[in-house]
Chain A
Amino acid sequence: MSRSRPGRIASGAGRIRAWLERNAIRLTALVTAGILAVMLYLPVGVVFVEAVVDEGVPTLGHFAAVLTDPFYFGVLADVFADPLAVGTHLGSLAGWLAAVSISLSLEYPIPGIDVPVPWLAVDTPGVRQGLFGFTAYQAALSTLASVALGLPAAYILANYEFYGRRTLRSLTILPFVLPGIMVAVGFYAMFGRAGTLNGILGVAGLGPFAFIETSPLTIVILAHAFYNAPLVARLTVAAWESVDTRTVETARSLGASERRAFRDIVVPQLAPAVLTGALLTFIFTFMTFPIVLALGGLQLATVEVWIYDRIQRLDYAEAATLAILETILSLGLTYAYLRYESVQSGFSQAPSPPPKEALFPDLRTALSPRRLAICGYGLVALVLFVGPMASLVVGSFTDGTGFTLRNYAFLLERQLEGASFQTLPLPAIRNSLLFGVATLAVAVPMGVVISVLTARTGRSGTIIDTLAMLPLAVSGIVFGIGLLQGLVFGISLPGGWRLQITGAVAIVIAHAVAAYPFVTRNVSPLLSNLDPAMVESARALGASRFRALVDVELPLVANGIVAGAAFAFAISIGEFSSTVILASGSESYTMPVAVERYLGRRSGPAIAMGTLLLLVTAASFVVIDRVGGRYEL
């Protein structure tokens, strides 16, 4: 009987190792569940419960009040107020439709430039969108813009080879780590009337243009794209490089044109990644906060602004109600998307990515329409993505008299002479990097184990997967206040015990909670595309589930893990709202917290710290990329 054949495992230590190995996935899942319970469900629950409990009595009154308030829900408030009066609602809809008119005219849409453009104007009578309606509207526009600006970047990075491509690809993570205030200041410095762009145009005798004043909404949407187009691009590049080109070649050999093969073969393989990016963008921009107010002002306020305000006024019930509605919407969208993702089957073998073409092999090619379009996009990207960051860096070196080093002198002096109660630059950098690495170490196993548990498990898996996306779907302000109320203040337990979690460990775990969904979203689609026969073969051959994961699945989804890990690291570096709460009173402050603390009546020191944040992040990613070598970040 070979079943009783002694394997390699004999010693006691070996037996423990074997037990650990057999139960590794279960243990990781357990730890993940524990972390989520304590660091996510508990804090969020502490706040959410305020929405449905009023002085100890369960109530839906807060929801009724919010849903029927025209300020929040515009015309829908009437529907919520009296959902059964279908006739009345249809009547008002018909009246509205009757008042829509469409007209064709010549317009001059580009300020200052005399180019008439035929303009199809759809004139609709005003509809009161309400705060939620407007928030969704600007999020939808931001999502469109992010996808439109992200896809060309993905196309270029995935299909062309040029000097610095890998570095550029690594650096697309940068917008992710910038604190909102820095993005706002960077956008003003780039697009303001006295900003960099007008300075450059001025050399050519153009302008100055009031880019921001002309349409604050456009600038807000572009700022959202600044954050999210790189996200879309990164997700899409990873998918593009996993495309099996043999399938494209098969299609071509069957007579499909290049365009047709792209549409029929490549697009379906990219769609999940693009849609993931769009979904995340929508959720993020739906819950946007500092950017809309900083660039657009109160006229463009979103739901999150009111959540912040209600928290400030200690009206937790209304804040929680608004936040729950946000979360329901986000999770609903996530569920819909994940259902879609789960029906996208088809097992890929090893990817055979498309070979990369040289971007500018010779002058003739360089002038082809496609290359010119790429150059055009490059210019747009330069203005939109590099511009604000570069303007920020330049701003850190200038004052009213021109070039100055005094902002950096401040940082140096603070580092050398700062008192213990002050915020020092080096500890901030050190903490950020340490927390980033630690976050990665916690978030990657968490994200992977959730992917493993939910891949290919049908509807129930989709529900778990949706709930696992909760960190992205919860208002950051509510999560922060929940951490404060639940963990920093502590929760009373029976027996006079008190559960309190603060400081470095809490920060790392909070970052990991915010970051693991990125690992899951990067890994899950790849994992569910793997042929299940591979894992089952490995297991039949004697590998435990964990060994099969490590030996077979992980190497094959390494691209996704590395991409997710890069996001996790970046999320940790850039995280502000929960860090500042958990770091309060301790020395666990990070770079974004330092930026905030240096912000005073003079913005120079904070901007210099923001520049350091950019440099440290850029250097980390370039170094990881060089060392990691095999995988692209």
Chain B
Amino acid sequence: MTELRLEGVSKRYGTGRDDGAAALQDVDLTVRDGEFFTLVGPSGCGKTTTLRTIAGFEAPSKGVVSFDGESMIGVAPERRDVGVVFQSYGLFPHMTVAENVGYGLQFREPPDGTGVDERVDELLELVDLEGMGGRNPDQLSGGQQQRVALARALAPEPDLLLLDEPMSALDARLRESLRRQLKRIQSTLEITTVYVTHDQDEALALSDRLAVMNDGEIEQIATPRTIYHEPETRFVAEFVGDNNVFDGTVRARDAERTRVDVAGTTFDLPPGVGFDGSAQEQERERISFCVRPADLSRAVDQNRFAVNLETSEFRGESVRAYGQWNDVPIVLQLGEVLESEKDATVTVGFAPEDAHVLNGG
């Protein structure tokens, strides 16, 4: 299969574009053979531009896209052997489902001497659409259309599968089942896959690794677990899952702890944080760190502070509560919120090792 690599890829648009395509700045990433890799970020962050650059629909202004070490610069999309599924599916309305799925097979022969019809049936079976080949796309539901698009992209056995927000037009329940189906197919075929989404839950659920993008740049590339627990930047911390971010000043350091002052309250963080030896003394004094809601607990007696609760949402296994502490918005995950605690204060604390220091304030 295929390893995908982007090195120093930048994309600038001249004036006169009005389709809102985002520019890219020095994007470096490697997608390993067979990996499910996700690009996640808010709209306009450049994730779709990155995907289109990989597919060959956009030419980078600078940098290299390579498949298995072979540069793809100047190679037309149709000669890259990629399968693409779009947000709007892009099904051909004047062709039947089978003709859609078989379309790519006239340019790339089906594998191992399989006949075209046979291969089409095989793919329709893979996406649970047996017997639908004769229908027209507009006779199918949204979820079915999405699966036709997937089958069509997979039919010529592409080296790389690219999916651009393929589920965003579907309702939540359908998304979850399609998500599982997609994951199953991907791991069966072991196909290198790049998935673009703005939905961080989807990104965390599906990916082997993911890249969080913001404003044309990659903020962090890591496994879902690392991204969630060890966000490198404030943007990642806030974008992926709920988080509480504190900005403070380093007051003191010793072998056991780092003392940080936030809005007049002093918190203890693990020793050595925010110190990399190279930075100037002044810069070292300012520091940002985050603490996940689940790590803020009434039961912890370190680093305690009182939160003014404003609203809460019942989430079944827990309650999510939103409030303020010294103008810092705070999200809590509580086992239960008592009636008496509503519109009142709750005092919580966190263990120093649960605080995660962010780069770049």
Listed in ascending order, the chain A residues whose CB lies under 8 Å from chain B are 1-3, 5, 7-8, 22, 347, 349-350, 456, 458-460, 531-545, 547, 551-552, 555-556
- Given A456-B19, A540-B77, A544-B78, A7 and B84 contact (CB-CB distance below 8 Å): no
**Least distance between A225 CB and chain B CB atoms (Å):** 36
Contact call A534/B84, Cβ cutoff below 8 A: no
Contact call A531/B88, Cβ cutoff below 8 A: yes
- CB neighbors of A among B36-76 (8 A): 55-57, 67-68, 70, 76
- Given A2-B157, A350-B94, A537 and B108 contact (CB-CB distance below 8 Å): no
Chain A residue contacts of B16, Cβ below 8 A? 458-460
Chain A residue contacts of B190, Cβ below 8 A? none
Contact call A543/B108, Cβ cutoff below 8 A: no
Which of A541, A544, A552, A555 counts the most chain B CB atoms within 10 A? A541
- Given A2-B108, A533-B87, A350 and B138 contact (CB-CB distance below 8 Å): yes
Chain A residue contacts of B70, Cβ below 8 A? 3
**Least distance between B343 CB and chain A CB atoms (Å):** 39
**Least distance between A159 CB and chain B CB atoms (Å):** 22
- Give the interface size class of chain B: 35 or more
Chain B residue contacts of A460, Cβ below 8 A? 16
Contact call B156/A542, Cβ cutoff below 8 A: yes
Given contacts A540-B82, A541-B107, 19 further A-B pairs with CB under 8 A are A1-B159, A5-B109, A8-B107, A8-B109, A456-B19, A458-B19, A534-B91, A536-B55, A536-B90, A537-B90, A537-B153, A539-B77, A541-B83, A541-B103, A541-B153, A541-B155, A542-B79, A542-B106, A556-B93
Chain A residue contacts of B157, Cβ below 8 A? 2
Contact call A539/B78, Cβ cutoff below 8 A: yes
CA of A8 to CA of B78 in the docked complex: distance in angstroms? 14
Some 7 contacts from A to B, beta carbons below 8 A apart, are A7-B107, A350-B93, A537-B84, A539-B57, A541-B155, A542-B81, A543-B104
Chain B residue contacts of A459, Cβ below 8 A? 15-16, 18
Chain A residue contacts of B93, Cβ below 8 A? 349-350, 556
Contact call B88/A533, Cβ cutoff below 8 A: yes
Listed in ascending order, the chain B residues whose CB lies under 8 Å from chain A are 15-19, 55-57, 67-68, 70, 76-84, 86-94, 103-104, 106-109, 138, 149, 152-153, 155-159, 162
- Given A3-B80, A536-B57, A542 and B107 contact (CB-CB distance below 8 Å): yes
Contact call B57/A2, Cβ cutoff below 8 A: no
Chain A residue contacts of B155, Cβ below 8 A? 541
- Given A2-B81, A3-B79, A537-B149, A543 and B159 contact (CB-CB distance below 8 Å): no
Interface pairs A-B: 3 shortest CB-CB: A542-B107, A533-B90, A541-B104
- Given A2-B157, A2-B159, A531-B88, A538 and B103 contact (CB-CB distance below 8 Å): yes
Q: Which residue of the partner chain B has the closest CB to A461? A: B16
Contact call A540/B84, Cβ cutoff below 8 A: yes
Chain B residue contacts of A350, Cβ below 8 A? 93-94, 138
Which of A3, A456, A460 counts the most chain B CB atoms within 10 A? A3
CA of A544 to CA of B18 in the docked complex: distance in angstroms? 26
Chain A residue contacts of B81, Cβ below 8 A? 2-3, 542
Contact call A542/B92, Cβ cutoff below 8 A: no
Q: By DSSP majority rule, is chain B's interface helix, strand, loop, or mixed?
A: loop
CA of A115 to CA of B162 in the docked complex: distance in angstroms? 73
**Least distance between B136 CB and chain A CB atoms (Å):** 8
**Least distance between B194 CB and chain A CB atoms (Å):** 13
Q: Which residue of the partner chain A has the closest CB to B162? A: A540
Contact call B76/A539, Cβ cutoff below 8 A: yes
**Least distance between A369 CB and chain B CB atoms (Å):** 36
CA of A458 to CA of B159 in the docked complex: distance in angstroms? 33
Contact call A541/B152, Cβ cutoff below 8 A: yes
Chain A residue contacts of B87, Cβ below 8 A? 533
CA of A350 to CA of B139 in the docked complex: distance in angstroms? 12
- Given A456-B19, A458-B16, A543-B78, A531 and B90 contact (CB-CB distance below 8 Å): yes
**Least distance between A351 CB and chain B CB atoms (Å):** 9
Contact call A541/B18, Cβ cutoff below 8 A: no
**Least distance between B167 CB and chain A CB atoms (Å):** 15
**Least distance between A246 CB and chain B CB atoms (Å):** 9
Contact call B149/A542, Cβ cutoff below 8 A: no
Chain A residue contacts of B107, Cβ below 8 A? 7-8, 541-543, 547
Contact call A540/B153, Cβ cutoff below 8 A: yes
CA of A5 to CA of B113 in the docked complex: distance in angstroms? 13
Partner of B83, one of A349, A456, A540: A540
CA of A347 to CA of B93 in the docked complex: distance in angstroms? 13
Chain A residue contacts of B108, Cβ below 8 A? 2, 5, 7, 541-542
Q: Which residue of the partner chain B has the closest CB to A351? A: B93
CA of A161 to CA of B107 in the docked complex: distance in angstroms? 43
- Given A349-B138, A536-B84, A539-B76, A3 and B57 contact (CB-CB distance below 8 Å): no
CA of A543 to CA of B77 in the docked complex: distance in angstroms? 9
Q: Which residue of the partner chain A has the closest CB to B68? A: A1
CA of A544 to CA of B157 in the docked complex: distance in angstroms? 18
Chain A residue contacts of B106, Cβ below 8 A? 8, 542
Contact call B91/A540, Cβ cutoff below 8 A: no
Chain A residue contacts of B156, Cβ below 8 A? 541-542
Chain A residue contacts of B152, Cβ below 8 A? 537, 541
CA of A5 to CA of B159 in the docked complex: distance in angstroms? 12
CA of A3 to CA of B19 in the docked complex: distance in angstroms? 32
Chain B residue contacts of A555, Cβ below 8 A? 94
